[in-house]
Chain A
Amino acid sequence: MGFLSADNQNEIKHLFEGLAGEVQLIYFTQKESPLFIPGHECETCKDTRTLLEEVAGLSDKIKLEVHDFVAETEAAREHGIDRIPAFVMTAEGVKGKVRYFGMPSGYEFSVLVGSLLDVSLGKTDLSESSVETLRTLDKDLHIQVFVTPT
């Protein structure tokens, strides 16, 4: 069963009309296994994949790419993914990395939709002076924002 109701889907489709260009949604998960290996379970990997597939299905501009975190170490390393579920959102013009770890459910779902729109534009609605200040940065910055879905 899907996560998005018909109403949700219509609303999101409408928002996705604002997508400027193609967005790559690069998802890292694990192969589904009938075996339960303690310490290696990923409780939300399957649901996150279903949700991302539903979202990607709402616009031709969202290209979902699914990687096996364990088997495809090269891809995981390239994006610095060290835990799952995780996804990277990128598009032409995006200079840094935008990543999400965990399942974007509840209130966090709007973060997913908003990020896809921002990424597709390759720019943000930050003030000009902020963009200018950011341009002067020459040191790597890792910003981690910890959230809960409710």
Chain B
Amino acid sequence: MAIENEHVTADVIEVNEFPHLAQRYAIRGVPKTVINESVEFVGSVPERDFLAHIQRAASPSGS
């Protein structure tokens, strides 16, 4: 998604190496995805659902 859009920054974070982030984002299961600090979900989801999460985060009330 970051490849396709200039507004997107996509990070993969190895959580064991950054325990402060594990704590900050309450990581109990992986993969956990956090979008703009406002939308989060655990597990892999189909592309359509992922996009719905993106749209939710991008909506005016999203963050």
Please report A residues at the B interface, Cβ cutoff 8 Å: 43-44, 80, 83, 85, 93-104, 108, 111, 118-119, 122-124, 126-127, 130-131, 133-135, 137-149
For the complex of A and B, list the 6 residue pairs with the smallest distance between their C-beta atoms, beginning with the closest. A102-B14, A96-B2, A96-B8, A102-B17, A95-B6, A97-B9
Take A96-B8, A96-B9, A98-B10 as given contacts and tell me if A141 and B31 are in contact as well, using a CB distance cutoff of 8 Å.
Answer: no
B57 near A101 with CB under 8 A, answer: no
Chain B contact residues: over half helix, strand or loop, or mixed?
A: mixed
Residues of B within 8 A of A (CB): 1-18, 21-22, 25, 27, 30-37, 47-48, 51, 54-55, 57-58, 62
Which residues of A lie under 8 Å from residue B34 when comparing CB positions? Answer: 143-144, 146
Q: A97-B10, A143-B11 are known contacts. Are A134 and B5 too (CB-CB below 8 A)?
A: yes
Chain A residues closer than 8 Å to B3, beta-carbon distance: 93-96, 98, 118-119, 122-124
Could you say which residues of chain A place their CB within 8 Å of the CB of B2?
A: 94-98, 143
Which residues of chain B have C-beta atoms less than 8 A from A108's C-beta?
A: 12, 14
Shortest distance from the beta carbon of A123 to any chain B beta carbon, whole Å:
6
CA distance A103 to B18 in the complex (A): 11
Give the contacting residue for A143; candidates B10, B14, B15, B17; CB below 8 A: B10
In-complex Cβ contact of B7 among A85, A103, A137, A147 (8 A): A137
Residue from B1, B4, B27 having most chain A Cβ neighbours under 10 A: B4
Cβ A141 vs Cβ B8 within 8 A: yes
